[in-house]
Chains A and B, each alone.
Chain A
Amino acid sequence: MKKWQDNKGWLFILPVFLIVAFSAIVPLMTVVNYSIQDIFGPGQSVFVGTEWFREVLRDQRLHEALWRQLLFSGLVLLIEMPLGIGIALLMPAKKGFGASLVLVTLALPLLIPWNVIGTIWIIFTRPDIGLMGAAINAMGLTFDHTASGLHAWITLMLMEVWHWTPLVALLAYAGLQSIPPAYYQAAKIDGASSWSIFRYIQLPKMRGVLTIALLLRFMDSFLIYAEPFVLTGGGPGNTTTFLSIYLVKIAVGQFDLGPAGAFSLIYFLIVLLFCYLFYQALLNVGGGKES
């Protein structure tokens, strides 16, 4: 038997439980509700069990969207993580005007509303008046993200990298700043090369913040909606129809709440699964756990 005093603590976290229940669990349960019923109207619903799940899992277009989404997130992480770390390493280490200027400049894309970002890039890449689009076309190459799937992907990747690499860079910079100078001094005395310093001091010391950066970037890129919705609307064709865009099409466009509910739950579980895997992997990589 545990002591009675131990149980009193539950009273203190009860309010949090209630708030979380109302803010997260109740809405989630309504989704569960949709996913196992066929709803015709108020008061008119039939329990259908796992039918919607089976239907959604067999949906070819969803499979395609999932692969597209995985490719997108994978590319985003492969580009943004090394690039962000690289930028952080190049940033001025000492506090001062230079460092502040770089920090503010870097943070700018993070402050812009996401649909505005989409709009900015629509204009920026327009073949007729956009700075980038027009410049590329002036070089004799045709570039039009409304006509070519590849061009749409390139535009989206550029936008995503421009938008979110600063976050990785800022987190990595914070990680670098927290390394005590004695580590660099010891490495100097030990005759370590710059690569060794990066590999054995900076990278291990940044592990915590990089884990956070990786998880945030994975979740955000996997759930991306506003920017591709504004920029390409999922097209041309279905080339940029990511999971969330497809989900909204089912839920709002076709008003199929049952399949949409089932889809949402599967989507949620995929994100959860990947985050768990990343987290576990990063916890163990390079001896994070004490032996």
Chain B
Amino acid sequence: MAQINLDEIAHSYLPDVQKEDEYALKRIHNIWDDGGAYALLGPSGCGKTTLLNIISGLLKPSSGRVKFGDIDVTDLPPEKRNIAQVFQFPVLYDTMTVFNNLAFPLKNRGFDKEYIDKRVREVAQILELEPFLNKRAEGLGADAKQKISLGRGLVREDVAAILFDEPLTVIDPQLKWELRCKLKEIHEKLQLTLIYVTHDQVEALTFADKIIVMYEGWIVQVGTPQELFEYPNHKFVGYFIGSPGMNFIPCTMEGDQIKVGDALIPVDKKTAALAKAAKGKLEMGIRPLYLKVSQSPDEEGFDVPVTGVEDQGSHRIISVDFQGFTLKARIAENDPIPESTARICFSKEWIRLFADEKLLK
């Protein structure tokens, strides 16, 4: 129906706020497009759920306005906002049948019986809940229960956005994948705006077109999974996205080269120029995937002692000691593991520089 416009939202759970730390959300200003699949990603306590509840109307922000399209909904209660929310734990009306659960939001809004019947059956078909329609909701599995929660949102044709608050936490891994596929399918079919809160990067990366990374009440980056991986805006994004996260080492500039300890690493001219202009604490970041462990001794790089190897199934992660800092690098399954020393190469295109935790660009 409409884009979601968050206009300078800030929220604190305390009545009288003095310091910035007391805000759970600090100045969120963002516009989310109609029909997009967004993931709100961040660690516990970063304000994801607070933001979600502000959008759904369960919370009123301390300041700022929420707009759905042109309509200011900041003061509207949840039931008037045309949104649906799926919670972390399945919320069902236990004593009702699945049919009545799905029909509940429509009954409350006074639709006639025929319409309700038709609509519930349509939604049940999409969610593959037809066989359970006349069963009590209580005895079903967690995945079916979450589908019912979702269904209660889908039955309303006027629904503008469906908000998910870590909906797969209680689902078994195998079913998680199935449900995620189902969500994608529904998104493509119905073109609804979906906002999905999670602290699981895999969930976020597979679900969303765009990921909103939150950290301590701020939105630190909004981007596609690729953007987040290759150009993390903030040190936190580099660290939080990817497994293991980005390597960071404090560094200085010497001419057009990065200096770490007594090692000099060449970078391209553009990065060097940015680094020279930057103020604050300088750090170099490189993803373990792009930190190359060379097999040939001729390649330009550094010989460093290997301090640990971690087998992760499809690949292995080795830890090396570089100028007193631990770096992690990814080695493909079939490549040999260096015994005691490895030759690591920093390729210019993957080196990112951060000043005061923010990406230089």
Contact = CB atoms under 8 A, between A and B. Distances in A.
Interface in B80-102: 83-85, 87-89, 91, 93-96
B84 A191 contact: no
Interface in A181-206: 182-183, 185-186, 188-193, 196, 200-201, 204-205
A191 B138 contact: no
B136 A291 contact: yes
A140 interface: no
A204 B79 contact: no
A200 B93 contact: yes
A186 B85 contact: yes
Interface string B55-93: 010100000000000000000011100011101110101
B199 interface: no
A188 B139 contact: no
Contact of B87 (A185, A191, A204): A185
Contact of A188 (B58, B93, B109, B152): B58
A92 interface: no
Given A185-B58, A189-B84, A190-B108, A290 B93 contact: no
A204 B79 CA distance: 23
A42 B96 CA distance: 64
A258 B138 CA distance: 51
A188 B77 CA distance: 8
B354 to A, nearest CB: 39
Given A189-B78, A192-B108, A200 B96 contact: yes
Contacts of A182: 87-89, 91
Contact of A196 (B53, B94, B108, B149): B108
Contacts of B58: 185, 188
Contacts of A192: 104, 108
A193 B109 CA distance: 10
A201 B88 contact: no
A60 B161 CA distance: 71
A201 B138 contact: no
Contacts of A290: 136, 138-139
Given A182-B88, A182-B89, A192-B108, A204 B95 contact: yes
Chain A interface SS verdict (over half): helix
Contacts of A204: 93-95
Contact of B108 (A183, A193, A201, A205): A193
A195 B94 CA distance: 16
B109 A291 contact: no
Interface residues of A, number: 20
A49 interface: no
Contacts of B105: 189-191
A204 B91 CA distance: 13
B88 A188 contact: no
A200 B92 CA distance: 9
Interface in A171-227: 180, 182-183, 185-186, 188-193, 196, 200-201, 204-205
Contacts of B78: 185, 188-189
Nearest to B110: A191
Contacts of B94: 204-205, 287
B332 to A, nearest CB: 44
A191 B84 CA distance: 11
A98 interface: no
Interface of B: 53, 56, 58, 77-79, 83-85, 87-89, 91, 93-96, 104-105, 108-109, 135-136, 138-139, 149, 152-153
Given A183-B91, A188-B78, A286-B95, 12 more contacts: A186-B85, A186-B87, A189-B56, A189-B84, A190-B108, A191-B108, A191-B109, A193-B108, A201-B93, A205-B94, A287-B136, A290-B138
17 contacts: A182-B89, A185-B78, A185-B87, A186-B152, A188-B78, A188-B79, A189-B56, A189-B105, A191-B108, A192-B104, A193-B108, A200-B95, A204-B94, A204-B95, A287-B136, A290-B136, A291-B139
